[in-house]
């Protein structure tokens, strides 16, 4: 009795499995999805973000992307690993190699009028420590917090740019530092911060004073560069992390962009 019930059960199972395989063959049943462990899903979405974020960063560095306010949320981790994982340092180093190669190939006049213009924030001095607390640019710009950070006067030198700065002075160039930082509130700390970090020997540090308050970076920096050219200086090169450092009037014979994917200054 039991044996015949088992045989019947086996027969039913066999018929069911035949039916299912024929249905599947007729594509009435979709094939089961391949197994996807959760790590593979997370991995492929990270890879997708990495590809998206590399494109985004290239658009930023080439100035195709303009007027952006924050790093896209899906790129915050990517920018963190870019800034801290060595690629940013490598990119700055490569930029500096290009600059030194160009500067070494020029003949420096003996009239002392061959000049370079360097920006300060994230060109000479690094604000990376500050931006670490601001999601590497994923959080909106906070002028009050940035000012109190800048007032501490503890921005470290970007080492590759400090090397460049010293080389330019050694070669006989006049170096002018040009920053949109406010003279009245940040003048003293910026001056001492630069000195403490080894930026000693530049011709002048230009900061934004009352005359230029409310002006955009391009307008303000253009006015100062025009003033230098009017004084007879030949601006052989101009170095900044923002395109607004490198646009406008009297930008110099060559411009060099230091990478910065954390913020955009119009
Ligand atoms: C602002 O700075 C410029 C350039 O250094 C200078 O010519 C001008 O006199 C300054 N204005 C004030 C109000 O200090």
Give the Cα separation of 50 and 81 in Å (integer): 10
Name the average pLDDT for the chain.
89
Tell me: the pLDDT tens digits for 185-216? 999 999 999 999 999 999 999 999 999 999 99
Q: Does residue 45 line the site of ligand 1, with CB under 6 A? A: no
**Could you write out the DSSP letters of every residue in 58-121?**
HHHHTT-S-S--S--GGGHHHHHHHHHSSHHHHHHHHHHHHHHHHHHTSPPPTTS-EEEEE--B
- Ligand 1 nearest-atom number relative to CA 224: 4
Going from the Cα of 211 to the center of ligand 1, the distance in angstroms, rounded, reads 6
Give the Cα separation of 236 and 238 in Å (integer): 7
Contact indicator for 149, 93 with CB cutoff of 8 Å = no
Q: What is the pLDDT of residue 14?
A: 44
Q: What is the pLDDT of residue 46?
A: 74
Q: Is residue 224 part of a domain?
A: yes
Give the Cα separation of 189 and 205 in Å (integer): 12
Q: Is residue 11 part of a domain?
A: no
Q: Is residue 73 part of a domain?
A: yes
- Ligand 1 nearest-atom number relative to CA 227: 4
Q: Does residue 132 line the site of ligand 1, with CB under 6 A? A: no
Which CATH number characterizes residue 205's domain? Answer: 3.40.50.1000
Q: Is residue 113 part of a domain?
A: yes
Q: Does residue 230 line the site of ligand 1, with CB under 6 A? A: no
Q: Is residue 38 part of a domain?
A: no
Q: Does residue 206 line the site of ligand 1, with CB under 6 A? A: yes
Q: What is the pLDDT of residue 42?
A: 58
Q: What is the pLDDT of residue 44?
A: 66
- Ligand 1 nearest-atom number relative to CA 206: 5
Q: What is the pLDDT of residue 146?
A: 98
Q: Is residue 32 part of a domain?
A: no
Domain interval for residue 109: 44-257
Q: Is residue 31 part of a domain?
A: no
Q: What is the pLDDT of residue 1?
A: 46
Q: Does residue 209 line the site of ligand 1, with CB under 6 A? A: yes
Contact indicator for 143, 180 with CB cutoff of 8 Å = no
- Ligand 1 nearest-atom number relative to CA 212: 1
199: DSSP letter: -
Identify the residue whose C-alpha is closest to ligand 1 atom 8: 211
Identify the residue whose C-alpha is closest to ligand 1 atom 5: 206
- Say how many C-beta atoms besides its own lie within 10 A of residue 206's C-beta: 22
Structural domains of the chain, count: 1
Low-confidence stretches of the chain (pLDDT beneath 70)? 1-44
Say what the pTM is: 0.84
Q: Is residue 8 part of a domain?
A: no
């Amino acid at each position: 009795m039991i044996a015949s019930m088992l045989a019947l059960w086996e027969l039913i199972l066999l018929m069911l499995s035949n039916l299912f395989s024929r249905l599947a063959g007729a594509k009435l049943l979709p094939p089961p999805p391949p197994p996807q462990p959760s790590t593979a899903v997370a991995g492929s979405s990270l890879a997708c973000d990495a590809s998206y974020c590399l494109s985004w960063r290239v658009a930023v560095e080439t100035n195709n992307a303009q007027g952006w306010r924050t790093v896209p949320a899906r790129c915050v981790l990517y920018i963190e690993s870019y800034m801290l994982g060595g690629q940013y340092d490598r990119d700055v180093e490569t930029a500096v190699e290009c600059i030194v190669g160009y500067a070494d190939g020029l003949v420096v006049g003996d009239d002392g009028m061959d000049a370079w213009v360097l920006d300060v924030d994230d060109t000479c001095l690094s604000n990376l420590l500050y931006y670490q607390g601001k999601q590497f640019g994923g959080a909106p710009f906070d002028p009050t917090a940035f000012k109190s950070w800048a007032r501490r006067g503890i921005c470290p030198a970007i080492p590759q740019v400090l090397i460049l700065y010293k080389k330019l002075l050694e070669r006989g160039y006049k170096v002018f530092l040009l920053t949109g930082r406010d003279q009245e509130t940040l003048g003293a700390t910026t001056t001492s911060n630069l000195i403490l970090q080894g930026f000693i020997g530049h011709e002048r540090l230009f900061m934004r004073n009352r005359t230029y308050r409310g002006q955009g970076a391009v307008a303000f920096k253009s006015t100062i560069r025009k003033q230098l050219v009017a004084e007879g200086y030949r601006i052989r090169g101009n170095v900044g992390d923002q395109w607004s450092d490198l646009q406008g009037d009297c930008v110099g014979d060559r411009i060099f962009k230091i990478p910065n994917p954390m913020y955009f200054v119009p």
